[in-house]
Amino acid sequence: MPTLISETDVYLERVDLFQRVGLSRQISNGRIVPPVRTPGLHLSGLLRYCAVKSHITTYIEQVKEESLPLRWAMGQAWEEFAASLYPNMIYQPGEVTEPIIMTCDGIAAEDQVVIMEFKFNRAKKYKGQDLMNKKWLWMQQGLGYCLGYGTEYVEWHVLSAFEFPDPSYCKYLVKFDQKELDAMAKMIAVNKDQAIAEGYAE
Protein backbone atom coordinates (compact mmCIF):
# COMPACT_ATOMS: atom_id res chain seq x y z
CA MET A 1 0.00 0.00 0.00
CA PRO A 2 1.35 3.48 -0.81
CA THR A 3 2.32 5.66 2.13
CA LEU A 4 0.51 8.97 2.59
CA ILE A 5 3.26 11.42 3.58
CA SER A 6 1.05 14.49 3.88
CA GLU A 7 -2.45 15.75 3.21
CA THR A 8 -2.67 19.53 3.05
CA ASP A 9 -5.66 21.80 2.55
CA VAL A 10 -4.57 24.77 0.46
CA TYR A 11 -6.21 28.14 1.04
CA LEU A 12 -5.42 30.71 -1.63
CA GLU A 13 -5.38 34.43 -1.00
CA ARG A 14 -5.59 37.27 -3.48
CA VAL A 15 -1.84 37.78 -3.30
CA ASP A 16 -1.32 34.18 -4.47
CA LEU A 17 -3.24 34.94 -7.64
CA PHE A 18 -1.13 38.03 -8.34
CA GLN A 19 2.07 35.99 -7.93
CA ARG A 20 1.19 33.41 -10.57
CA VAL A 21 3.76 32.86 -13.31
CA GLY A 22 3.13 32.40 -17.01
CA LEU A 23 3.55 28.84 -18.25
CA SER A 24 6.15 28.37 -20.94
CA ARG A 25 4.65 27.51 -24.32
CA GLN A 26 6.07 26.72 -27.71
CA ILE A 27 4.59 29.26 -30.13
CA SER A 28 4.52 29.07 -33.92
CA ASN A 29 2.76 31.65 -36.14
CA GLY A 30 1.11 33.14 -33.07
CA ARG A 31 -0.40 29.82 -31.96
CA ILE A 32 0.47 27.42 -29.16
CA VAL A 33 2.12 24.29 -30.53
CA PRO A 34 0.86 21.20 -28.69
CA PRO A 35 3.51 18.83 -27.33
CA VAL A 36 4.59 16.12 -29.74
CA ARG A 37 2.99 12.78 -28.83
CA THR A 38 5.05 9.79 -29.89
CA PRO A 39 2.96 7.11 -31.62
CA GLY A 40 2.82 3.75 -29.86
CA LEU A 41 1.59 2.30 -26.59
CA HIS A 42 1.34 4.95 -23.88
CA LEU A 43 0.87 4.38 -20.17
CA SER A 44 -2.77 5.48 -20.52
CA GLY A 45 -3.41 2.82 -23.17
CA LEU A 46 -1.77 0.10 -21.10
CA LEU A 47 -3.83 1.02 -18.03
CA ARG A 48 -6.99 1.02 -20.13
CA TYR A 49 -6.13 -2.48 -21.39
CA CYS A 50 -5.36 -3.79 -17.86
CA ALA A 51 -8.55 -2.30 -16.42
CA VAL A 52 -10.77 -3.80 -19.13
CA LYS A 53 -9.02 -7.18 -18.86
CA SER A 54 -9.36 -7.20 -15.06
CA HIS A 55 -12.93 -5.75 -15.01
CA ILE A 56 -11.94 -2.78 -12.85
CA THR A 57 -15.21 -0.88 -12.87
CA THR A 58 -13.87 2.13 -10.98
CA TYR A 59 -11.58 2.75 -13.95
CA ILE A 60 -14.60 3.22 -16.25
CA GLU A 61 -16.05 5.83 -13.88
CA GLN A 62 -12.72 7.65 -13.64
CA VAL A 63 -12.21 7.70 -17.40
CA LYS A 64 -15.75 9.01 -17.88
CA GLU A 65 -14.88 11.82 -15.49
CA GLU A 66 -11.81 12.77 -17.55
CA SER A 67 -13.05 12.16 -21.09
CA LEU A 68 -16.31 14.15 -21.40
CA PRO A 69 -15.38 17.38 -23.20
CA LEU A 70 -16.54 19.95 -20.63
CA ARG A 71 -15.20 17.92 -17.70
CA TRP A 72 -11.93 17.49 -19.55
CA ALA A 73 -11.86 21.25 -20.18
CA MET A 74 -12.41 21.91 -16.46
CA GLY A 75 -9.54 19.56 -15.66
CA GLN A 76 -7.28 21.29 -18.15
CA ALA A 77 -8.23 24.73 -16.82
CA TRP A 78 -7.48 23.61 -13.25
CA GLU A 79 -4.13 22.11 -14.29
CA GLU A 80 -2.99 25.27 -16.05
CA PHE A 81 -4.17 27.55 -13.23
CA ALA A 82 -2.66 25.47 -10.42
CA ALA A 83 0.60 24.87 -12.29
CA SER A 84 1.04 28.64 -12.58
CA LEU A 85 1.19 28.85 -8.76
CA TYR A 86 4.43 26.83 -8.66
CA PRO A 87 7.22 28.72 -10.45
CA ASN A 88 9.90 26.19 -9.42
CA MET A 89 8.07 23.29 -11.01
CA ILE A 90 9.08 22.05 -14.46
CA TYR A 91 5.70 22.08 -16.20
CA GLN A 92 5.09 19.42 -18.87
CA PRO A 93 8.68 18.14 -18.71
CA GLY A 94 8.26 16.05 -21.86
CA GLU A 95 7.87 12.41 -22.69
CA VAL A 96 9.89 9.52 -21.43
CA THR A 97 9.75 6.26 -23.35
CA GLU A 98 10.93 3.64 -20.84
CA PRO A 99 9.48 1.40 -19.58
CA ILE A 100 6.61 2.79 -21.70
CA ILE A 101 5.73 6.14 -23.30
CA MET A 102 4.33 8.60 -20.76
CA THR A 103 4.08 12.29 -19.91
CA CYS A 104 3.43 13.66 -16.41
CA ASP A 105 2.04 17.12 -15.63
CA GLY A 106 5.10 18.41 -13.83
CA ILE A 107 8.22 17.72 -11.79
CA ALA A 108 9.47 19.49 -8.68
CA ALA A 109 13.10 18.80 -7.83
CA GLU A 110 14.31 20.36 -4.61
CA ASP A 111 15.31 17.86 -1.91
CA GLN A 112 13.95 15.02 -4.03
CA VAL A 113 12.23 14.53 -7.38
CA VAL A 114 8.45 14.70 -6.96
CA ILE A 115 5.93 14.09 -9.74
CA MET A 116 3.18 16.72 -9.64
CA GLU A 117 -0.24 15.79 -10.99
CA PHE A 118 -3.27 18.11 -11.18
CA LYS A 119 -6.75 16.59 -10.99
CA PHE A 120 -10.27 18.05 -11.13
CA ASN A 121 -12.65 16.01 -8.99
CA ARG A 122 -16.43 16.38 -9.12
CA ALA A 123 -16.90 14.37 -5.93
CA LYS A 124 -16.44 15.45 -2.33
CA LYS A 125 -12.93 15.98 -1.07
CA TYR A 126 -11.14 12.71 -0.42
CA LYS A 127 -9.36 11.82 2.78
CA GLY A 128 -5.88 10.63 1.86
CA GLN A 129 -6.59 6.96 2.55
CA ASP A 130 -9.79 7.10 0.47
CA LEU A 131 -7.89 8.70 -2.39
CA MET A 132 -5.38 5.85 -2.40
CA ASN A 133 -8.10 3.19 -2.09
CA LYS A 134 -10.62 4.54 -4.60
CA LYS A 135 -8.60 6.25 -7.31
CA TRP A 136 -7.11 3.18 -9.02
CA LEU A 137 -6.29 5.09 -12.20
CA TRP A 138 -4.49 7.90 -10.38
CA MET A 139 -2.43 5.46 -8.31
CA GLN A 140 -1.41 3.42 -11.33
CA GLN A 141 -0.51 6.55 -13.29
CA GLY A 142 1.57 7.69 -10.33
CA LEU A 143 3.43 4.39 -10.16
CA GLY A 144 4.13 4.50 -13.89
CA TYR A 145 5.40 8.06 -13.71
CA CYS A 146 7.67 7.15 -10.80
CA LEU A 147 9.25 4.42 -12.92
CA GLY A 148 9.63 6.67 -15.94
CA TYR A 149 10.98 9.75 -14.17
CA GLY A 150 13.01 7.96 -11.49
CA THR A 151 11.37 8.75 -8.17
CA GLU A 152 9.11 7.29 -5.45
CA TYR A 153 7.02 10.41 -4.80
CA VAL A 154 3.85 11.79 -6.37
CA GLU A 155 1.97 14.87 -5.20
CA TRP A 156 -1.62 15.15 -6.39
CA HIS A 157 -3.13 18.65 -6.49
CA VAL A 158 -6.87 18.00 -6.40
CA LEU A 159 -9.66 20.54 -6.85
CA SER A 160 -12.86 19.01 -5.45
CA ALA A 161 -15.85 20.89 -6.81
CA PHE A 162 -18.75 19.03 -5.18
CA GLU A 163 -19.14 21.76 -2.57
CA PHE A 164 -19.39 24.44 -5.30
CA PRO A 165 -19.45 27.46 -5.08
CA ASP A 166 -16.81 26.82 -2.41
CA PRO A 167 -14.59 24.11 -3.90
CA SER A 168 -11.65 22.76 -1.93
CA TYR A 169 -8.02 22.39 -2.98
CA CYS A 170 -6.01 19.67 -1.29
CA LYS A 171 -2.49 18.34 -1.88
CA TYR A 172 -1.67 14.69 -1.22
CA LEU A 173 1.97 13.62 -1.15
CA VAL A 174 2.35 9.87 -1.56
CA LYS A 175 5.40 7.62 -1.48
CA PHE A 176 5.48 4.27 -3.25
CA ASP A 177 7.78 1.50 -2.05
CA GLN A 178 10.11 -0.59 -4.16
CA LYS A 179 7.80 -3.59 -4.07
CA GLU A 180 4.99 -1.51 -5.60
CA LEU A 181 7.33 -0.09 -8.24
CA ASP A 182 8.58 -3.59 -9.12
CA ALA A 183 4.99 -4.83 -9.42
CA MET A 184 4.17 -1.94 -11.77
CA ALA A 185 7.24 -2.69 -13.90
CA LYS A 186 6.12 -6.33 -14.11
CA MET A 187 2.56 -5.32 -15.03
CA ILE A 188 3.90 -3.21 -17.89
CA ALA A 189 6.23 -5.95 -19.13
CA VAL A 190 3.59 -8.71 -18.95
CA ASN A 191 0.81 -6.73 -20.67
CA LYS A 192 2.66 -4.51 -23.14
CA ASP A 193 2.66 -6.78 -26.21
CA GLN A 194 -0.95 -7.90 -25.79
CA ALA A 195 -2.15 -4.32 -25.30
CA ILE A 196 -0.49 -3.40 -28.60
CA ALA A 197 -1.93 -6.48 -30.33
CA GLU A 198 -5.44 -5.59 -29.17
CA GLY A 199 -5.24 -2.02 -30.44
CA TYR A 200 -4.55 0.01 -27.31
CA ALA A 201 -1.58 1.78 -28.88
CA GLU A 202 -2.17 5.35 -30.06
Q: List, in order of start, the domains of the chain with CATH numbers.
A: 3-14+39-197 (3.90.320)
Bridge-based pairing of strands 31-32 and 113-121 is unpaired
Residue 35 has pLDDT above 60, yes or no: yes
Q: 176 or 35: whose pLDDT is higher?
A: 176
Q: 64: how many CB neighbours lie within 10 A of its CB?
A: 10
Residue 66 has pLDDT above 60, yes or no: no
pLDDT tens digits, one per residue of 123-163:
888 998 999 998 888 999 999 999 999 999 999 999 998 77
Residue 198 has pLDDT above 60, yes or no: yes
DSSP letter assigned to residue 82: H
Q: Which long-range contacts (CB under 8 A, 24 or more apart) does 76-79 make?
A: 77/120, 78/118, 78/119, 78/120, 78/159, 79/105, 79/118, 79/120
Alpha-carbon distances, residue 26 vs 21, 60, 129 (angstroms): 16, 33, 38
Mind giving me the DSSP string for 49-73? HHHHHHT-HHHHHHHHHHHSHHHHH
Residue 65 has pLDDT above 60, yes or no: no
Residue 33 has pLDDT above 80, yes or no: no
With beta carbons less than 8 A apart as the criterion, state whether 10 and 169 touch: yes
> Mapping DSSP to helix (H, G, I), strand (E, B) and coil, where does residue 99 land?
coil
Residue 158: the pLDDT is 96
pTM assigned to the model: 0.89
